Amino acid sequence: MRDQYYEQLDVIVDELVLITDRVRTAVADATTALLDTDIATAEAVIGSDRGIEEAIDEVEERALVLLATQQPVATDLRQLVSTLRMVADLQRMSALAVHVSKIARRRAPEAAVPLPVQPLIRDMARVAHSMIGSAARIVSERDLGAAAELEIEDDEMDRLRQELFRVLLDGTWEHGVDTAIDLALLGRYYERIGDHAVSMARRVVYLVTGELPVA
Amino acid sequence: MRDQYYEQLDVIVDELVLITDRVRTAVADATTALLDTDIATAEAVIGSDRGIEEAIDEVEERALVLLATQQPVATDLRQLVSTLRMVADLQRMSALAVHVSKIARRRAPEAAVPLPVQPLIRDMARVAHSMIGSAARIVSERDLGAAAELEIEDDEMDRLRQELFRVLLDGTWEHGVDTAIDLALLGRYYERIGDHAVSMARRVVYLVTGELPVA
């Protein structure tokens, strides 16, 4: 009975990691769509959200069935409940990749991101991508070292977003209000993607140490 | 045993409704802080987030204990798991009220929202406030009529956000890029508050009908 439980739990964790990888790809593709003004890729990301949603529903269903049939207690229970919170994070990250793609699509054939700001957005996307990778590693291997690393990446993300605002607001902006608004929202989207990666990691830390890290 | 279960579940639902009311007040206060440039109220909202977080942790803990000790199945299990997803929505709504308050605080003593846009932001805040109220009613009374109403309010929120973008981007904007960015973010924050209210309602609809409404 217990063996069966852990087998099922492993399946759920494996699926969570697979979905995390899909979300990571979606974020990378959304960034390509954005920086290369690549509408086909933007459409692909927007279309892929549905499949990710379905995979998420499946994991959620699987976790509920396991809860009902095996009735775990203590740490086992917490772990299963954590997976339910993590799927909510993944759902949001996928939706945020869609938001990024929609900005790319709306602005095409013009570039949504003016050339001088491209390195900054590329950096934010790179950090977000790396944070999702860290989150996947933490979920699959319970690697608390990666959790500490993730907090450092989160600080880097904060710094980049502040830098973005500095550029938008230093009085020399010459790309229009519409572009400034898109960039402010893009900054927010990448920051939120990172936040959700941190949230997933904190759930694992909580499971392992029994304590929620201070937010 | 079962009676005790439903008693405990009622306590959890009551607490969820209380927290939803606190979040609703936080959103209303944040809007006051924003539109009246009232720093004391902004600080109060920012300070109140901690207490809401603690209340949320308590409900979550209570739900976990109930899961562990009573090991509900089927609909009872789904309901308890739903409460865990709803606390995540409440957590985000409270954080979004803090974001609104921080924009008010950062811009003080200047107004973050120029006079001509105040009615629009006031409308978004009013709709968000009403949506949280509907969500509370749905959670406490399982009133599916209120769920349908909430979807209409959600459409109204979409319309208001589009109107806000139209105003920001019609080429006659004369309040600077910084103000435009703040307004775009404020629009996003109120819209997300509404989204979370809808998400809470959909969880209840799912519980009652067994089907997730199409997103």
User: Rounded to an integer, what distance in angstroms lies between the CA atom of residue A179 and that of residue A163?
Assistant: 16
CB contact under 8 A, A180 and B177: yes
* Pick from B175, B17, B90, B126: nearest CA to B9: B17
User: Which of A53, A77, A168 is closest, CB to CB, to B177?
Assistant: A168
| CATH number of the structural domain A2-209 | 1.20.58.220
CB contact under 8 A, A169 and B181: yes
Q: Which residue has the tokens 């998400």?
A: B199
Q: In this structure, what token pair is assigned to residue A88?
A: 């909510």
The yes-or-no verdict on residue A199 having pLDDT over 50 is: yes
Here the ipTM equals 0.80
Exposed (0-12), middle (13-18) or buried (19+): which is B143, by Cβ within 10 Å?
middle
Pair B187, B169: CB distance under 8 Å: no
Which of B58, B62, B86, B181 to mutate: most A Cβ within 10 Å? B181
CB contact under 8 A, B177 and A165: no
Phi, psi angles (nearest 5°) of residue A40: -60, -45
Residues of B in contact with A85 (CB under 8 A): 84-85, 88
Phi, psi angles (nearest 5°) of residue A56: -65, -45
Q: In this structure, what token pair is assigned to residue A178?
A: 């519409």
User: Rounded to an integer, what distance in angstroms lies between the CA atom of residue A171 and that of residue A12?
Assistant: 51
Sequence ranges of the domains in chain A: 2-209
What average pLDDT does range A103-126 have in this prediction?
A: 96
Cα end-to-end distance, chain B, whole Å: 37
Count how many pairs of residues, chain A against chain B, have C-beta atoms within 8 Å. 64
More confident residue, A154 or A75: A154
Share of chain A above pLDDT 70, in %: 97
pLDDT of residue B34: 98
More confident residue, A67 or B188: B188
Q: In this structure, what token pair is assigned to residue A210?
A: 């029994």
pLDDT of residue A1: 59
* Pick from A183, A101, A125, A173: nearest CA to B181: A183
User: Rounded to an integer, what distance in angstroms lies between the CA atom of residue A72 and that of residue A146?
Assistant: 28
Q: Which residue has the tokens 């207690």?
A: A73
pLDDT of residue B76: 85
Pair B128, B161: CB distance under 8 Å: no
Q: Which residues contact B201 (CB under 8 A, 6 or more apart)?
A: B134, B135, B138, B146, B147, B150
pLDDT of residue B47: 97
> pLDDT tens for residues A119-147?
999 999 999 999 999 999 999 998 888 88
For residue B74, the chain A residue with the least C-alpha distance is A68
Pair B74, B149: CB distance under 8 Å: no
pLDDT of residue B1: 59
Pair A57, B214: CB distance under 8 Å: no
User: Which of B53, B85, B184 is closest, CB to CB, to A181?
Assistant: B184
User: Rounded to an integer, what distance in angstroms lies between the CA atom of residue B187 and that of residue B68?
Assistant: 41
DSSP designation for B114: -
pLDDT of residue A215: 44
Q: In this structure, what token pair is assigned to residue A172?
A: 């020399």
Q: In this structure, what token pair is assigned to residue B108?
A: 């003080």
Detail the DSSP E strand segments found in chain B. none
Q: Which amino acid is at B131?
A: M
Q: From first to last of its 215 residues, what are the pLDDT tens digits of chain B?
A: 578 889 999 999 999 999 999 999 999 999 999 999 999 999 999 999 999 999 998 998 899 888 888 888 888 888 888 888 899 899 999 999 999 999 999 999 999 999 999 999 999 999 999 999 999 999 999 888 888 899 999 999 999 999 999 999 988 999 999 999 999 999 999 999 999 999 999 988 877 776 655 44
> pLDDT tens for residues A13-55?
999 999 999 999 999 999 999 999 999 999 999 999 999 999 9
User: Rounded to an integer, what distance in angstroms lies between the CA atom of residue A40 and that of residue A92?
Assistant: 22
